[in-house]
Amino acid sequence: MSNTDTEKTVFISYRRSVSAFIARAVFQDLRYNSFDVFMDVESINAGAFDTVILNQIAARAHFLVVLTPGAVERCAEPGDWLRREIEHAMALERNIVPLMVNNFDFRDAEKYLTGKLETLSRYNALHVPHDYFEEAMSRLRTRFLKAVPGQIEITPPPTSEQPVVQHKIAEAENQPAPSEAELSAEQLYDRGHRKWEAKQYEDAIEDCTEALRLNPRFAEAHNRRGTAYMGQADYPKSILDFDAAITLEPDYTAAYFNRGVAQAALGRYDGALTDYNTALRLNPLLTQAYYSRALARITKRDYRDAMSDYGKYLDLGGGELFGNRAEVLEAIAALKERWQA
């Protein structure tokens, strides 16, 4: 592969639930301008396809990561795929370009960018304003994706993976261009997310509601509005939103977990346990779900399984992540006494 060809190879990493439309717009712009771009438009499947994704990062010189408010929240969880992609690109010393969309701010994301990801803010980032998308893409193509650092070594993927890769690229190419309403819905969601982080729940609800008016199939907006209703202790309304999110995306782990929290708040512990079990089936590394399931199990006097959940929570680093390791150890000791009594 010539140096010119290398300069045209790009991998796009993004959080599908909150950045799908803007990522698609970036993909289509680069493809239109003759860049060789890989972007997966479906959820990552466990197993062999994990390797295909990582091999595509190794096969491309440039690594774009789309950063919107809320995109890196789950990076603090063990096994998060977006985190894994970024860390792999860092290890391979790819030309990493963070695309900062909808007023993403690294200062708001610091608590989620731990370990190797602490250095992400040091990379040369490009702001992509919603109203100046074309200008931002021009800068991306002419300035950020031009020079390829000499130390980058491109590793061609195995030929056996080419049919899968070409199928994935074709899937991305066949996606319709994102509409103005879809892009605006993401922008409104991002604004609502920032309001939610600031505990301005009423404003967050308004933004998510408007996002859903523009894009009624925006599952993440239902989920975020549901968490805003929880912030107001309006658990019945929050459950309706989590129900809607799950109807749109039956494998939506966060919506199951959040619905479990809402059900527990209403004293519906059997329903909460069912939701926590589903969330953990979908993502066995969802640290908070073990902690919350332990609390629900305690109400059922299931002390042994509650201790097991607390132990798993600590094993996954939840105590350090949420600063309650000593508290959980004390809870385990107390449960052990109850169980042995």
Q: Sketch out the chain's domains with CATH numbers.
A: 3-173 (3.40.50.450), 181-340 (1.25.40.10)
pLDDT of 155-209, one tens digit each?
888 898 888 888 888 888 888 888 889 999 999 999 999 999 999 999 999 999 9
pLDDT of 312-336, one tens digit each?
999 999 998 889 999 999 999 999 9
pLDDT at 150 over 50: yes
> Could you count the other beta carbons within 10 Å of the beta carbon of residue 286?
25
pTM of structure: 0.81
Among the listed ranges 107-116, 223-232, 273-282, which one has the minimum average pLDDT value?
Answer: 107-116
Mean pLDDT over the full length of the chain: 91
Q: What's the pLDDT score for residue 46?
A: 46
Q: Band of the pLDDT at 78, cuts 50, 70, 90?
A: low
Q: What is the 3-state secondary structure (H, E, C) of 56-97?
A: HHHCCCEEEEEECCCCCHHHHCCCCHHHHHHHHHHHCCCEEE
Considering the chain, what percentage of its residues have pLDDT values greater than 90? 69
